Amino acid sequence: MEDTKAFTSLLKNLSLPSNLSREQFIELVLGYAAHLLNEEKRKEALKFLRLAKTLLPYASTKNRALFYITLANSFISANDYGGAEKSLKKAKLFVDKSEDPSLRVKFLNLQFIIARTLKRPHAEQFLERSREISLKNNLYENLVFCEVNLGLIAFFKKDHSRAMEHLKRAIEVVSKHPYPKEKLIMLCDFFLQVLSENSGYVRVSKYYDLILKGADIVFSAINVLDDPHQGAKRLSLLVSFLKMSDDLLIEVLRGLESKIAKLSKNYRAIYYSGIASGLANYKNYTLALKYFDQAISNSNSLSDDEIRVLKKKHAFTLAMALRIRMLYDLTTTSNFSYRIKRIQVVTLEPTLLGRKDTRITLRNAVADSDAIFTVDENFVRKRIYSTLKNYLNVKRVLSYFGHEKSKHNLLEKLDVFVINAVDHRNALTSILFVGSNIKESPKILKGKNVFTTYQILGHIVPKSLNCAHIENYDVKFLYDLVRAPQKFKKIEILVPSEDIAKEYETIF
């Protein structure tokens, strides 16, 4: 370092400006070390700290203090609190000499972390002192750090009103003064934590503007995250506690939409999906489905797995809206219906499916949906038949139902009905329901079994549906059928022929 030529050569080898002073170089080395520690890359950080140690004889009082503070931080990251305290003891000598408030607050913050982790009494006193220094010296980043951590202490002590006051002060600092976006995530998560546990504050008018500012902070914070799915989780949490105020919810959603619209399609799809999931969590299904539609319309560039997850979330929300059952973890069930192949029906008369006396093959709906959807007898009678009776024909024309491995006509033992619908673009959709009985004691009527639930087993989807993922198709079709039957120009239900010797009572 004393050799100017050697130092200049070092700067050149490191692609650093040749006019960098020795003091600036030491600051740079310590800055790299601190950055790597924040990235949880302690091994790499230690390399820079070792280099910095060799430079200490040439360092200023401030940089010597900063070295030991950074070293203490490295010990904390390794859970070596004894080593951290020894480093802070050395740091104190230089912190006291420098009288630099930014060093003092760093020193106090580490003392707080150690005391808090080791459960020593009055740990927050270090933070209070750090906060006082920050207020006097306009150290806004550290002021937010103090407010958030003091707020968390109050939060975990169940002193929620005090936690809310710290949150308010932190948001005011960020709103009024420059603050790095990459550090907003700490305040973002504190805001979400406090409000999700105390959603009643959403109803309090004096917090209205504060919550709007908090929502803006959430969006700014998530936009610097590497993983948009982490951002989507936070958006989901945000809208889920805003359920307490329709006015706030609508205003926040309006603001989010205007911001999300400027992002790439991938981000739009993932963020809209997060919002939809949050809305669905508190049963605002109509609004949730609106955002799922937006997510799906922007999903072209998502990965195969991301699209599958999105479609299944959409399907689950549709099922909840209809109050039908969806079993989506097929690995935990003994149900083998997803392995059935070549599901076939035959009709005695021509139908929307095709000609009579012809075996018509349906796809396995369980395999396509990667889920099992079931409806109960009440849903069939009241939601399907009663809703659609002015739009449909019930035809007793099914003469055969079977699949690849069935040896006999299964219509003798299983109640089956098929819903066919043609939309205004002449696209045909068919869904085949098969009866099952999930009650412990089967229901018997006139000596015959009565099925209590019906499972979607087979389907025919429009030929125009050029999509690898149709996990949500059947339940979306069912949703449109009972909520907006006017979307279809022809609807019919096919049920077993009266000529079939049945061991059950048909539902129609």
What tens digit of pLDDT does each residue of 71-85 get?
Answer: 999 999 999 999 999
**For residue 268, pLDDT beyond 70:** yes
User: What's the structural domain count of the chain?
Assistant: 3
In a domain, 246, yes or no: yes
pLDDT band at 451 (very low <50, low <70, confident <90, very high): confident
Question: The tokens 């055969």 sit on which residue?
Answer: 400
Same domain? 282 vs 351: no
Same domain? 279 vs 341: no
What tens digit of pLDDT does each residue of 38-56 get?
Answer: 889 999 999 989 988 988 8
The two three-digit tokens of residue 455, written as one number: 């499972």
* Span 318-332, average pLDDT: 84
In a domain, 495, yes or no: yes
Which one of 99, 114, 132 terminates a domain? Answer: 99
What tens digit of pLDDT does each residue of 345-359 get?
Answer: 999 999 999 999 999
**For residue 280, pLDDT beyond 50:** yes
Of the ranges 27-31, 292-296, 334-338, 503-507, the best mean pLDDT one = 292-296
Contact 321, 313 (CB under 8 A): no
Q: Give the per-residue pLDDT at 69.
A: 95
**For residue 226, pLDDT beyond 80:** yes
Contact 418, 354 (CB under 8 A): no
In a domain, 313, yes or no: no
pLDDT band at 299 (very low <50, low <70, confident <90, very high): very high
**For residue 20, pLDDT beyond 90:** no
Question: The tokens 């819903």 sit on which residue?
Answer: 419
Q: Give the per-residue pLDDT at 2.
A: 56
Same domain? 388 vs 459: yes
* Span 23-43, average pLDDT: 88
Same domain? 372 vs 489: yes
Same domain? 352 vs 496: yes
In a domain, 216, yes or no: yes
In a domain, 137, yes or no: no
When computed from its CA atoms, the radius of gyration of the chain, rounded to whole angstroms, is: 32
Same domain? 358 vs 494: yes
In a domain, 70, yes or no: yes
pLDDT band at 440 (very low <50, low <70, confident <90, very high): very low
Closest by CA position to 346, among listed 416, 399, 406 = 399
Residue type, 94: F
Greater model confidence, 284 or 331:
284
Q: Give the per-residue pLDDT at 121.
A: 86
Mean model confidence pLDDT for the chain? 91
In a domain, 49, yes or no: yes
**For residue 334, pLDDT beyond 80:** no
Instruction: List the single range of 41-50, 136-145, 227-236, 331-340 with lowest mean pLDDT.
Output: 331-340
Contact 362, 463 (CB under 8 A): no
Same domain? 390 vs 495: yes
**For residue 447, pLDDT beyond 60:** no
The two three-digit tokens of residue 150, written as one number: 């003091």
Closest by CA position to 86, among listed 100, 98, 103, 69 = 69
Same domain? 340 vs 295: no
The angle that helices 124-137 and 140-156 make with each other, rounded to 10 degrees, is 150
pLDDT band at 7 (very low <50, low <70, confident <90, very high): low
* Span 195-204, average pLDDT: 93
Greater model confidence, 3 or 152:
152
Same domain? 298 vs 336: no
For residue 293, give the DSSP letter: H
Which structural domain range is residue 62 located in?
11-99
Contact 495, 347 (CB under 8 A): no
How many other CB atoms sit within 10 Å of the CB of residue 468?
8
Q: Give the per-residue pLDDT at 463.
A: 85
In a domain, 186, yes or no: no
Which one of 99, 120, 140 terminates a domain? Answer: 99
Same domain? 338 vs 440: yes
Same domain? 294 vs 361: no
Question: How far is residue 110's CA from residue 97's CA, in Å, rounded to a whole number?
Answer: 18
Query: Percent of the chain beyond pLDDT 70?
Result: 94
* Span 75-101, average pLDDT: 94
* Span 371-397, average pLDDT: 91
* Span 285-305, average pLDDT: 95
Same domain? 273 vs 345: no
Q: Give the per-residue pLDDT at 270.
A: 98
Which one of 84, 99, 114 terminates a domain? Answer: 99
Sign of CA dihedral 503, 364, 378, 418: negative
Closest by CA position to 431, among listed 439, 420, 422, 441 = 420
